[in-house]
Amino acid sequence: MKPLSRPMFIAVAAIFAMVMIATRFHHFGDALHLPDASMALFFLGGIYLRKHLAFLGFVVLSVLVDWYSIRYAGVSDFCITIAYSFMPLAYAVLWYAGRLLAPRYDGSLASHVTVFAGLLVSATLSYAVSNGAFYWLGGRYTDPNMVQYVQRFAQWAPLFVRAAAGYVLVAQAIQALVFRFAPRAGDGRAARA
**102/48 Cα distance (integer angstroms):** 7
- Kindly tell me the sign of the dihedral angle through the C-alpha atoms of 185, 13, 20, 100: positive
Task: pLDDT band for 188, please (50, 70, 90 cuts).
Answer: very low
Three-state SS across 60-96? HHHHHHHHHHHHHCCCCCCCCCHHHHHHHHHHHHHHH
Residue 186 has pLDDT above 60, yes or no: no
Task: Give pLDDT, residue 32.
Answer: 52
Out of 9-23, 29-43, 128-142, 178-192, which region has the weakest mean confidence (pLDDT)? 178-192
Task: Give pLDDT, residue 95.
Answer: 98
**13/95 Cα distance (integer angstroms):** 13
- Kindly tell me the sign of the dihedral angle through the C-alpha atoms of 60, 65, 10, 175: positive
Q: What is the pTM of this model?
A: 0.89
Percent of the chain with pLDDT over 70: 90
Amino acid at 115: V
Task: Give pLDDT, residue 154.
Answer: 96
pLDDT (tens digit per residue) in 33-88? 788 999 999 999 999 999 999 999 999 999 999 999 888 888 888 889 999 999 99
Task: pLDDT band for 135, please (50, 70, 90 cuts).
Answer: very high
**63/17 Cα distance (integer angstroms):** 12
